[in-house]
Amino acid sequence: MAAASRARLAFGTARLMEGSAPHEEALRTALLGGVRVVDTAASFGAGGAERTVGSVLASLPSDVSRSVEVFSKVGYYLEGGAGEATADKSIAAPSPALQHSIAPNFLRSEVAASHARLGRRLDYVLVDSPERVLQPLMAQRQSALRVAAERAAEALEATQAASEAPEQGSGMRLPGGAPPSSSSAAAAAPTATRSPFLPDELSGGAEFVVKPSASAARDAARAAEADVAKAEAALQGGRDRVLAELKEAFVVLEEEVSLQAQQEVL
């Protein structure tokens, strides 16, 4: 009977704190105990995790150190940190300090910086969260869908109201009442105007809310649908650009990792 295969465990370093003796000892114990995969990233601890991994690996017997495979990830960087000059600033950021880029030149510089922090080559490099660059386009599409749903509901309501009571189309909003909702399809939004029959001091500031006609509401709904189509096209175009950038990035990363391997042999 074939021998049962052993599960391969990896040591994750997302919370590995540089300069923490207990954290360093935990990593050292794991590697001496048989763990042979370390998962890290250029952004973990602003590079501190990679420096700690490199320091611990250097302290181990050479046969153990050489048998450890190191995975790292590139893509995120801290504002003001290494790589900022070459990163693409037009992309979304998950926080004011943490930025993201998949620009090939930036990724190349990050791999080189990881190599220097680790003091050894990387066995595997991952591109961290490439979908992050699509976040603004996804938000734009979501907003367009929400507005389109609102305009469709308004068009249905206006059409039903027109068929039931064509003469109705306005109502009074008392002071303090909720204002009409605003959207890109302004033609469909109810408008408010002061009463032309009473001065403000007698009307108490009451406003008459004029609802859109059924035809205007339908036009606004169609305009909102067109906005959705534009947002969908922009998102698809963004996906195509990301795929093209990733293809270029993978070539760059493979070249950089191969160069590190050659330098290590020499």
Q: Tell me: the pLDDT tens digits for 40-85?
A: 998 888 889 999 999 999 999 999 998 899 999 888 876 554 443 3
- What would the mean pLDDT of 210-227 be, rounded to a whole number? 84
Residues 60, 158 share a domain: no
Residues 86, 191 share a domain: no
Q: Does any domain span residue 259?
A: no
- What would the mean pLDDT of 236-257 be, rounded to a whole number? 78
Q: Does any domain span residue 200?
A: yes
With a cut of 90, say whether residue 247 has pLDDT above it: no
Report the pLDDT value the prediction gives residue 7, as an integer from 0 to 100.
Answer: 52
Domain that holds residue 165: 137-234
Q: Does any domain span residue 257?
A: no
Residues 168, 142 share a domain: yes
Residues 155, 122 share a domain: no
With a cut of 80, say whether residue 229 has pLDDT above it: yes
Residues 162, 80 share a domain: no
Report the pLDDT value the prediction gives residue 54, as an integer from 0 to 100.
Answer: 94
For residues 96 and 259, which has the higher predicted lDDT (pLDDT)?
Answer: 259
| pTM, 2 dp | 0.57
Q: Does any domain span residue 256?
A: no
Give 260's pLDDT tier (boundaries 50, 70, 90). low
- What would the mean pLDDT of 177-204 be, rounded to a whole number? 47
Residues 143, 124 share a domain: no
Residues 116, 19 share a domain: yes
Q: Does any domain span residue 246?
A: no
Q: Does any domain span residue 117?
A: yes
Residues 172, 78 share a domain: no
- What would the mean pLDDT of 186-200 be, rounded to a whole number? 47
Beta bridge partners of residue 173, listed in sequence order: 207
Total tally of structural domains belonging to the chain: 2
Mean pLDDT score of the chain, rounded to an integer?
75
Q: Does any domain span residue 253?
A: no
Residues 120, 151 share a domain: no
Give 178's pLDDT tier (boundaries 50, 70, 90). very low
The CATH code of the domain that includes 32 is: 3.20.20.100
CA-to-CA distance for 172 and 208, rounded, in angstroms?
Answer: 4
For residues 123 and 242, which has the higher predicted lDDT (pLDDT)?
Answer: 123
Alpha helices in 68-188 (DSSP H): 104-118, 135-164
CA-to-CA distance for 248 and 103, rounded, in angstroms?
Answer: 9
Give 93's pLDDT tier (boundaries 50, 70, 90). very low
CA-to-CA distance for 143 and 263, rounded, in angstroms?
Answer: 50
Residues 52, 21 share a domain: yes
- 98, 128, 158 - which closes a domain: 128
Phi and psi torsions of 213, nearest 5°: -70, 165
- What would the mean pLDDT of 133-160 be, rounded to a whole number? 87
How do strand 76-78 and strand 98-100 relate by DSSP bridges? antiparallel
Residues 145, 107 share a domain: no
Phi and psi torsions of 150, nearest 5°: -65, -45
Report the pLDDT value the prediction gives residue 244, as an integer from 0 to 100.
Answer: 80
Residues 153, 123 share a domain: no
- What would the mean pLDDT of 170-180 be, rounded to a whole number? 44
Flag the least confident range among 45-49, 222-226, 237-241.
237-241
Cβ–Cβ under 8 Å, residues 183 and 223: no
Q: Does any domain span residue 1?
A: no
